[in-house]
Amino acid sequence: MKYLMFVVADPDAAKEAPDPEVDDVEDWVERNDASGARIMGERLRPPADATSLRRRGGKLLVTDGPFAETREWIAGFDILECADLDEAIAVASKHPMAAAGSLELRPFWPFEG
């Protein structure tokens, strides 16, 4: 199954002491690229650099900022290919942002179904 893993920044968690259970991000990427669990991923510029847009009443509205203002924001993403949710949880649990922020696993919507 494919999962999109949102990497979510949390300013409070980032202040905590480092957790020895998680990997360095370079090690995490290298290991999961090698095993085939990580298909691709990117770090993203902060919400200050975000642009939102929508079409309403036939007009295009372009605004500065993310779609929702929260303390937590999406700092990056990875696409995972795992047998099931437990395998995806095991992979995600070693990502450094599991300790310094949080991760959200979203299954892809399959073509058939």
Partner 1 sequence: MTGGERVTADEVGRALADAIAAERLRIVATLIRTTGDWDLAEDAVSDAAERALLHWPQDGIPDNPAAWLTATARRRATDVLRRADVERAKLAELAAEQSLTDTEGMPDMSPMTDDRLRLIFTCCHPALPLDARVALTLKVVSGLPTEAIGRAFLTSEATMGQRLLRAKGKIAHAGIPYRAPSDDLLPERLDGVLAVLYLVFTEGYATTARDLADEAIRLGRLLVNLMPDADEARALLSLMLLQHSRRDAREVDGERVTLERQDRSRWDHAAIDEGLRLRQPPSAPRGAYAMQADIAAVHAVAADADDTDWPAIVNLYDELFVLVPSPVVALNRSIAVGMSEGPLAGLAHLEDIADDPKLVDHYLVAAARGDLLARAGLHKEAVIAIERAAELAPTDQERRQLSDRAAELRRA
Give the Cα-Cα-Cα angle 99, 103, 107 (nearest 5 degrees).
Answer: 155
Nearest Cα neighbor of 11 from 72, 75, 68, 69 is 72
β partners of residue 63: 52
If one asks whether residue 39 binds partner 1 (CB under 8 A), the answer comes out as no
CA distance 21 to 52: 37
If one asks whether residue 86 binds partner 1 (CB under 8 A), the answer comes out as yes
The CA radius of gyration of the chain, in Å to the nearest whole number, is 16
If one asks whether residue 61 binds partner 1 (CB under 8 A), the answer comes out as no
If one asks whether residue 85 binds partner 1 (CB under 8 A), the answer comes out as yes
Q: How far is the CB of 109 from partner 1 (least distance, A)?
A: 8
If one asks whether residue 36 binds partner 1 (CB under 8 A), the answer comes out as no
If one asks whether residue 105 binds partner 1 (CB under 8 A), the answer comes out as yes
Q: How far is the CB of 55 from partner 1 (least distance, A)?
A: 29
Please give the residue ranges that form the binding site for partner 1 (CB under 8 A).
Answer: 1, 3, 82-90, 105, 107
